[in-house]
């Protein structure tokens, strides 16, 4: 070794090679011996059996610290190395250690957040935003320490310079600060949760919340697309949260049936007897009949004209039928508000609004219940002498055209018959006139012959 010491550069090169080999050996031993043994030991525990532990790579990142420590500690023992080389190696190794520890801590925080999300109440109080804030703080501190280490200066010097950079930092982290405040308000006021159905038309969002983070909220729309919304927009922008509907256990049904106003009229006695066959109307018809009979009886006693009497209408009876039908329907939530009412008449008919709540909030089930109800109502409307109003369709226009053409054909035939009749009458009149003229001429000739006979006698 004496001859090697006489060659300082060769000695330093050999020492550096040995140090690098020691770092590689320590890295291999750490990852394939110590880390493998530690992993097998942890797998015997409940935490080690969780797949999150294998995906986190916390221990793997910490194991990277060992070869960096070997390099940082061993480089100072190598003689004949320039001071700046020793400083650079130590600083780079220290910066790498800081980076590895920061990444390991960040991964550990990710594990804590994933474990927290498994709790039943995690959707009500998500902590992902706060975890991200802590990560940002860790990364900022790590960056300051790494920069201070690489330039071989104290971190205090960098921190003292941050005061002058406060305005710049506020501008750089403006979105982060706003998102942090928004996340705190969302969590404290329980504005949205993972799994809520939200609707924000201005941002084309209509679906379930699948993730709430510090900066964005992800909404999976019903067409399976994903809309990413800045977290602060849920504070300064109006949106609709359907959670209340889901918690109430009922979904609102509000739809109108447009009734042709020309089909509204009083019910005759025969029609009342026909409607009494509906079991849902028995109580209503009896109660209404007693009420109207009492009114009309008092009206007759006062001597008023019978035009002032009250009678049952088909629209009122149909409205009562809908109300009873909803009360007896198994798909309607009976504890929530229910109403059947008339809205203001329009040019498209009289709107008869059906308002209620289904007892199932699932979309497909809700649509099925609503469709079944209105299928029945549209089919039974003719039983009450009512008609549903709708604008004329192509079939209606063709029927009107066919009826108009048939009417014009009938008129044409009638006109032709009248012309033929007039012609026959005219011919008959001409024939009668000719006969009258012939008769008159005959009479004149006979008179002339009569007058000529005496004159002949006188001359004889």
Residue 133 pLDDT exceeds 70: yes
pTM above 0.95, yes or no: no
Cα–Cα distance, 319 to 314 (Å, whole number): 9
Please state which of the ranges 49-53, 183-187, 293-297, 351-355 shows the lowest mean pLDDT. 49-53
> Is residue 272 a contact partner of residue 231, using CB atoms and an 8 Å limit?
no
Residue 226 pLDDT exceeds 80: yes
Give the tens place of pLDDT for each residue, 73-127.
877 777 777 777 778 888 888 888 888 888 888 888 888 888 887 787 776 677 7
Residue 197 pLDDT exceeds 60: yes
Describe the strand order of the beta sheet including 350-358 as a list of residue ranges.
Answer: 251-259, 350-358, 339-342
> Is residue 126 a contact partner of residue 114, using CB atoms and an 8 Å limit?
no
What pLDDT is stored for residue 380 in this prediction?
94
Give the tens place of pLDDT for each residue, 391-439.
887 777 788 888 888 888 888 888 887 877 777 777 666 666 666 666 6
Residue 460 pLDDT exceeds 50: no
Mean pLDDT for all residues in the chain: 81
Which has the higher per-residue pLDDT, 338 or 13?
Answer: 338
């Amino acid at each position: 070794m004496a001859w090697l010491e006489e060659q300082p550069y060769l000695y330093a090169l050999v020492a550096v090679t040995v140090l690098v080999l020691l770092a590689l050996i320590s890295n291999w031993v750490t990852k394939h011996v110590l880390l493998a043994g530690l992993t097998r030991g942890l797998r015997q525990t409940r935490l080690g059996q969780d797949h999150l532990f294998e995906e986190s790579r916390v221990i793997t990142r910490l194991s990277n610290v060992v070869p960096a420590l070997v390099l940082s500690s061993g480089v100072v023992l190598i003689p004949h190395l320039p001071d700046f080389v020793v400083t650079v190696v130590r600083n780079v190794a220290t910066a790498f250690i800081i980076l590895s520890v920061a990444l390991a801590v960040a991964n550990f925080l990710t594990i804590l957040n994933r474990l927290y999300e498994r709790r039943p109440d995690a959707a009500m109080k998500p902590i992902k935003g706060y975890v991200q804030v802590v990560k940002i703080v860790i990364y900022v501190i790590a960056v300051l320490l790494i920069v201070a280490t690489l330039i071989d200066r104290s971190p205090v010097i960098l921190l003292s310079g941050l005061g002058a950079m406060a305005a710049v930092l506020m501008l750089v982290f403006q979105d982060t600060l706003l998102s942090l405040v928004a996340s705190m308000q969302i969590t404290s006021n329980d504005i949205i949760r993972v799994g809520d159905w939200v609707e924000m038309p201005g941002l084309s969002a209509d679906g379930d919340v699948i993730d709430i983070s510090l900066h964005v909220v992800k909404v999976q729309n019903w067409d399976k697309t994903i809309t990413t919304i800045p977290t602060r927009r849920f504070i300064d922008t109006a949106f609709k949260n359907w959670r209340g509907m889901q918690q109430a256990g009922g979904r609102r049904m509000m739809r109108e049936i447009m009734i042709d106003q020309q089909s509204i009229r009083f019910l005759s006695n025969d029609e009342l007897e026909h409607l009494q066959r509906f079991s849902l109307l028995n109580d209503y018809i009896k109660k209404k009949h007693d009420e109207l009979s009492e009114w009309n009886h008092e009206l007759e006693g006062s001597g008023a004209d019978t035009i002032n009497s009250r009678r049952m209408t088909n629209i009122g009876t149909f409205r009562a039928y809908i109300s009873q039908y909803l009360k007896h329907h198994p798909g309607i939530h009976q504890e929530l508000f229910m109403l059947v009412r008339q809205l203001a008449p329009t040019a498209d008919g009289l709107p008869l609004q059906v308002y209620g709540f289904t007892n199932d909030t699932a979309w497909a089930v809700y649509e099925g219940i609503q469709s079944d109800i209105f299928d029945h109502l549209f089919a039974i409307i003719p039983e009450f002498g009512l008609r549903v109003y709708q604008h004329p369709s192509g079939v209606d226009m063709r029927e009107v055209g066919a009826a108009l053409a048939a009417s014009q054909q009938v008129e044409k035939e009638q006109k032709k018959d009248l012309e033929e009749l007039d012609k026959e009458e005219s011919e008959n009149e001409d024939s009668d006139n000719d006969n009258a003229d012939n008769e008159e001429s005959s009479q004149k000739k006979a008179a002339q012959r009569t007058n000529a006979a005496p004159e002949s006698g006188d001359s004889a």
